[in-house]
Amino acid sequence: MERFGIIDIGSNSIRLVIYERTIHGAYRIIEQAKEAARLSERITDDGDLSDADMDDICALLHRYAHMCHTYRTVRIRAVATAALRNATHGTRIVQEMMARTQMDIAVLSGEAEAHIGFLGVINTMDLSDGFVIDLGGGSTEISLFHNRTCTHTASLPIGAVNALRSFGRPDRTMESAHVEALVHTLKNAMRAHTWMYAHPHLPCIGLGGTVRSVCKIDQRHHHYSLAHMHQYTLSPADISYWLHHIQPLSIESRKRIDGLTKDRIDIILSGLIILHTIIAETQSSQLIVSGAGLRDGLFYESVCPDAPPICDVLENSVSNVLKLYAPESEAHARHVHALGMRLFGALYSEHGLNERMGNAFGAACMLYRIGIAIDFYNFEQHTQYLIAHARLDGLSHRELLLCAMIASYRNEKRAKSCYAQHKDILSSADIPLVNRLGTLLQLASALDRSKTQPVHTVTTSIVHRQLHLTLHTTSAQTCALEQQQLQSHRKEFEKVWGLQLLVDVACTDA
């Protein structure tokens, strides 16, 4: 087991994240801390840092280093971004911080910050093309990617904190003239990069505190039933709505916005203006919120510095969750997945299924037993909770819930109960879909009931409303338990699918 500390000295916040990588190769966050240090505001007009502010920042870094020591991290990687990168005396400030904390601190260039943020995004989303917007306190990094490869990056020296400092009023609000000046400055900075205007209708993947804040506000406003930000989507109209809603509000009135944290009350407007302008200028189709970004990219880069971006983010994410909760079941899970996908393929075209549902079903096949990590009895309900609250990269929120429902399927009653909790995300048509794929998973798991993989594979055919299932094994005796388990699920399968199930055994030499 190894633990890594990542410290992000940002323009608005200074954050610590501690990752753990297990002996099975799985990884997860086990601790994090954040302080809104407002470093870009502490930098004086001549680009320096006062002794008192230096004391505050170094004391915070000492606390983070102590937390890393407590968790026995094998490495601490600390980076600084725009506030120190752009400060006139940034080099001296960083050198003094390192001397006082005995910590190596790397100041990232704008291009490096954009690349690492892109790495955090591309390893957790299955999009092929789009823009990545990393909207920080002192800068905004924009990247363009095609076929999952970053082709252009730019770092604009405008972020939520320094924009408010430059264009806001003393009371931390902005009048129309200030807004217009900020928009004009941002557009001029963007026009130096013609590639930002050459790819309309691509999605924008947003990361950073402003994006997360808008996501929380929108979710609270709509009483969103799933506690996930990663891959939550907002339309350009949603961004416009919140900009025009928040712009006339006083600081005191903003305190009453549900979902807006106190450290964002003053800078949410400047951040929204930047976000709205970039989406309008690039003519993006939607904003997809990323819960992963710079710190995730730093972890990937630290652990696997020479590895290319992950090709199949869903498979990687599912494998990671399986190794975290049920590593001893991996052989069984992969066999159930193989058998389940054979069954899915047999029923794919005739029953209106599609590739995206195949992905969700395949993930359910892999993870249906992870609830045993909590308790064997009624493990299905634990499986449902773990999947619904895990971050399975590569699945939309609807697909994540369907995966959880399929993996934990017992009967239609359970499916309806989950649907009732998430009517804002699911539709009534999803209930029969879960019934069909849930019973299919029951068949697939029954085919390895002994957890010894006695059924090597299956062949299928559908003739006259009958599903003919041939089990290929070394002998009928070795899969007797599997045949018995299939019979226990026959009635439910036939009712849901409207197909009679016929099972044969084909024995081959060992």
> Contact 265/173 with Cβ under 8 angstroms?
no
Separation between Cα atoms, residue 276 and residue 281, nearest integer Å? 9
- Sheet containing strand 27-35, edge to edge, reads 27-35, 14-21, 2-9, 75-80, 105-107
CATH topology of 2-107 equal to that of 313-450? no
Q: Is 468 helix (H, G, I), strand (E, B) or coil?
A: strand
Separation between Cα atoms, residue 5 and residue 298, nearest integer Å? 10
pLDDT above 70 for 317 = yes
Separation between Cα atoms, residue 55 and residue 36, nearest integer Å? 15
Q: Is 175 helix (H, G, I), strand (E, B) or coil?
A: coil
Residue 477: the pLDDT is: 81
Residue 327: the pLDDT is: 82
Residue 245: the pLDDT is: 96
For residue 235, report the phi and psi dihedrals to the nearest 5 degrees.
-85, 165
Which element (helix H / strand E) includes 17? strand 14-21
Residue 335: the pLDDT is: 96
Q: How many residues does the chain have?
A: 510
pLDDT above 70 for 509 = no
Which tokens hold the place of 171? Answer: 């009371």
Domain ranges of the chain: 2-107, 111-296, 313-450
Higher per-residue confidence, 3 vs 304: 3
pLDDT tier, 270 (very low <50, low <70, confident <90, very high otherwise): very high
In the chain, the largest separation of any two C-alpha atoms, in whole Å, equals: 84
pLDDT above 60 for 435 = yes
Residue 292: the pLDDT is: 94
pLDDT tier, 116 (very low <50, low <70, confident <90, very high otherwise): very high
pLDDT in tens, 151-187: 999 999 999 999 999 999 888 889 999 999 999 999 9
For residue 207, report the phi and psi dihedrals to the nearest 5 degrees.
-140, 165
CATH of domain 313-450: 1.10.3210.10
DSSP code for 197:
G
| Residue labelled with tokens 């980076």 | 79
- Sheet containing strand 457-463, edge to edge, reads 457-463, 466-473, 500-507
Residue 414: the pLDDT is: 84
As to burial, measured by CB atoms within 10 angstroms (0-12 exposed, 13-18 middle, 19+ buried), residue 367 is buried
Task: Count helices and strands (H / E) in the chain.
Answer: 20, 14
Q: What is the mean pLDDT of residues 131-154?
A: 96
Q: What is the mean pLDDT of residues 302-321?
A: 92
| Residue labelled with tokens 């096949």 | 365
Q: What is the mean pLDDT of the chain?
A: 94
Higher per-residue confidence, 167 vs 353: 167
Residue 268: the pLDDT is: 97
pLDDT in tens, 479-497: 999 999 999 999 999 999 9
Place domain 111-296 in its CATH homologous superfamily: Exopolyphosphatase. Domain 2 (3.30.420.150)
Q: What is the pTM of this model?
A: 0.94
> Contact 51/172 with Cβ under 8 angstroms?
no
pLDDT in tens, 11-29: 999 999 999 999 888 999 9
pLDDT above 60 for 510 = no
CA-nearest of 120, 310, 115, 288 to 202 is 288
**What single letter denotes the amino acid at residue 41?**
E
Q: What is the mean pLDDT of residues 442-460?
A: 95
Residue 395: the pLDDT is: 96
For residue 264, report the phi and psi dihedrals to the nearest 5 degrees.
-115, 0
As to burial, measured by CB atoms within 10 angstroms (0-12 exposed, 13-18 middle, 19+ buried), residue 452 is middle
> Contact 297/117 with Cβ under 8 angstroms?
yes
What is the DSSP secondary-structure string of 373-425? GT-STTHHHHHHHHHHHS--TT--HHHHHHHHHHHT-S-HHHHHHHHHH-TTT
pLDDT in tens, 201-231: 999 999 999 999 999 999 999 999 998 999 9
Which tokens hold the place of 251? Answer: 């600081």
CB hemisphere CA count around 442 (13 angstroms)? 24
Q: Is 233 helix (H, G, I), strand (E, B) or coil?
A: strand
> Contact 209/271 with Cβ under 8 angstroms?
yes
Separation between Cα atoms, residue 172 and residue 165, nearest integer Å? 8
pLDDT above 80 for 351 = no
Residue 478: the pLDDT is: 86
Is the domain spanning 2-107 CATH 3.30.420.40? The answer is yes
Separation between Cα atoms, residue 351 and residue 166, nearest integer Å? 59
